[in-house]
Amino acid sequence: MLRRMSVRLSMLASGSQGNCALVASSQTRILVDAGISCREIFKRLRSLSEDPSAISAILITHEHSDHVYGLATLAKKLRVPVFLTAATHAAWSRALRNENGERPQLEKLEKFESGHRFEIGDIEVKPFTIPHDAVDPVGFTFRAEGVKISLATDLGYLPVNVRDHLRGSDVLIMESNHDLEMLRGGPYPWVVKQRVASNVGHLSNAKLADFFDGDYDNSAAFVVLAHLSEQNNHPEIARREAERALARRGGLFNNRVLVATQSEAMPPIRL
Ligand SMILES: [Zn+2]
Ligand SMILES: [Zn+2]
């Protein structure tokens, strides 16, 4: 039987200025993070012929502003359930208190716990804990129609439990944040450089290459490099490093490497 290729992924925006991705099946459409404005999310969805009013839910990885900047407006406009952990929700609403101490309300709040799978329509979602300096940060795996999509960005390194979750993915969205030399020689203040490079900061091109070189199972038809630093990385450097590591394992023929950008939506991957 011919598969219908109705599962799709598009990175609407990726990088330290804002993150948002669309994971969709034939019946369900999930936005992962809302780190750019609602207006820009709608614009980018329409540029892919996706109807914003058809979105089923919003999922949040963690409370950093490059992941929640547009959330309050987006949730109000779409009136769909917003899924986040209790700690992430508390941190988000605390940060958005007004001068009277009033916190923003989400009309349809759904709390999840890391490590516990749940379903949104016909998409199974499994959140897993990642090492990052937020209150309760998670990555996700998505399963629908026999396809597995995994997303792991905003993490300082790749612990064993994360590697386990990534196994068997058809699409792997991985952080490839910085080139270590560019970070060292770049414009950031020393403390920020320390934070980015730490085990609760962001994944370097080299750490990702180590994963591809090591216990990566070569399962993904598509590898998406995400959350690239505009200051401390270059898309071609990130791509070259990932492709070299995949080639050493003989896996470059299986894995098509794509680079997600800050400025525009990536054409959808269809599976
Ligand atoms: Zn973050
Ligand atoms: Zn981020």
Q: Are 252 and 246 in contact (CB under 8 A)?
A: yes
DSSP-assigned beta bridge partners for residue 134: none
Task: Give the model confidence (pLDDT) of 124-163 as tens digits.
Answer: 999 999 999 999 999 999 999 999 999 999 999 999 999 9
What's the pLDDT at 200?
A: 96
In this prediction the pTM is 0.96
Return the C-alpha torsion angle 196, 201, 202, 203, nearest 10: 110
Report the pLDDT value the prediction gives residue 168, as an integer from 0 to 100: 97
**Ligand 2 center–CA 202 separation, angstroms:** 8
Q: For the segment 34-61, what is each residue's pLDDT rounded down to a tens digit?
A: 999 999 999 999 999 999 999 999 999 9
Contact 110, 132 (CB under 8 A): no
Q: How far is the CA of 145 from the centre of ligand 1 (A)?
A: 30
Q: What is the pLDDT of residue 115?
A: 97
Compute, in angstroms, the gap from residue 154 CA to the centroid of ligand 2. 5
Could you tell me the sign of the dihedral formed by the alpha carbons of 260, 255, 138, 121, in that order? positive
| Mean pLDDT of all residues in 174-202 | 95
**What is the 2 CA–ligand 2 centroid distance (Å)?**
38
Ligand 2 centroid, distance to 77 Cα (angstroms): 23
